[in-house]
Structure 1
């Protein structure tokens, strides 16, 4: 979802149903405030979070929102779905109109899901060049060995897309479970990498994205607002 930037005069003209000439007169008379400051320029760039007031009437006052959700199995990372409950439907009492999911999980994958209305923030989070680490606990059908560690660290070539995955860190936790850290997100990447060993993934649980770790007090389906420190750790990455 892209940030909705545009000219101030176009926004005010639409909001008040007046001409741009009328908006220019409002600006000349100091009748329009943007983020608490008197606006002078009709081509001032605003976005969906600019606080805009005209003659003491608030035209826009959207607040940035950031949530972490402990996604349960069987919930889709989507805004609308005809067959399954959606992640946004679990945010009870929250208006989902401007919200979107930053970093999706498959239907049966669980764990940390980030939801926001801040397109710039989510774009930073998911940008390939930022290489934000994503950490998962993976449960496998068959035992794993040290061979997996080297293969994940070297990267794997997938002919269908003609790509080689970036080095990934695998730590063995038990015979059937590993912690995997990725800095990219190719299609079904973890399942396909373990598929090279003909070892099906039984469960996939995301623990963290960058400096944001799933709150262990949240039960599956529960959510909370991100702290300012959590929000900032993505921006400062």
Structure 2
């Protein structure tokens, strides 16, 4: 990894500040002053700024129980972004809150609409995020859906086989539909098209009244998390996405 990127990724310094620090000869690699921002750093090197060691920070993996009214973004001019919830106030009691500069750089692995609630995963590990979101990985997401009108057998069959949505070139991949009641279902899909769940139910003659995501792959939303609360993922949960 480039020296400037390593420092920026593992400290609160911006890229501009890092370049200035390097130019001013305050950065050492293995006790030697280094003025080349592109110098390659490995896990065998020791990087210091003014004598202080910059250690590689472990990636963050966070589970959030998203409430309504929040947008899955880092910044937004209309709604509050979900990263604003990654604070000590909203943490599960035992979880250590990351510094603000790291929370603001989190990537959202699987976005939800403003009015949709439930499981959101956040990370600063781009490769792990890709494994969650890439269509090629076929990572199933399970939703609890409350409907305006009941589904008939024909609608369930159509959803299970795949539906052609307006403006799309291909039908949705087969979904799993489990009836909870006449107007409540569990729907599992392996795609993430724009407003996909809502559009699928409109296509079969009903509307979504309430939408809540319960699981992404093998990661289940922690039922102990209240809306707006978050916690770090366990090692088992992190490794479940492969």
Give TM class, smaller chain.
Answer: 0.7 to 0.9
Find the counterpart in structure 1 of residue 177 from structure 2. 170
Paired with 2:222 and 2:72, the residues of 1 have a C-alpha distance of 19
Which of 151, 156, 172 is the equivalent residue of 1:149?
156
Paired with 2:138 and 2:44, the residues of 1 have a C-alpha distance of 29
The Cα of 1:62 is off from its aligned counterpart by 2.7
1:202 aligns with 2:196: no
Q: Give the direction of change, closer, same or farther, for the CA distance of 1:11–1:77 in structure 2 (3 Å limit).
A: closer
| Kept in 2: contact 1:148–1:170 (CA 8 A) | no
- Length-normalised TM-score, structure 2: 0.78
1:14 aligns with 2:19: yes
| Kept in 2: contact 1:80–1:86 (CA 8 A) | yes
Find the counterpart in structure 2 of residue 90 from structure 1. 85
* Runs of 5+ unmatched residues, structure 2: 8-17, 33-37, 89-97
Paired with 1:50 and 1:174, the residues of 2 have a C-alpha distance of 58
Cα deviations by residue, 1:176-203 (Å, 9 ceiling, x for unpaired): 0110000111111111111112311000
1:223 aligns with 2:230: yes
Mapping of residues 36-185 of structure 1, within 5 Å: 44=40, 52-54=46-48, 57-59=52-54, 61-93=56-88, 94=98, 95=100, 96-185=103-192
| Kept in 1: contact 2:164–2:172 (CA 8 A) | yes
Q: Give the direction of change, closer, same or farther, for the CA distance of 1:163–1:10 in structure 2 (3 Å limit).
A: closer
The Cα of 1:58 is off from its aligned counterpart by 2.1
- Length-normalised TM-score, structure 1: 0.79
Paired with 2:153 and 2:71, the residues of 1 have a C-alpha distance of 33
Aligned CA RMSD, in angstroms, stands at 2.9
The Cα of 1:10 is off from its aligned counterpart by 8.0
Q: Give the direction of change, closer, same or farther, for the CA distance of 1:163–1:50 in structure 2 (3 Å limit).
A: farther
Q: Give the direction of change, closer, same or farther, for the CA distance of 1:9–1:79 in structure 2 (3 Å limit).
A: closer
* Runs of 5+ unmatched residues, structure 1: 1-5, 33-41
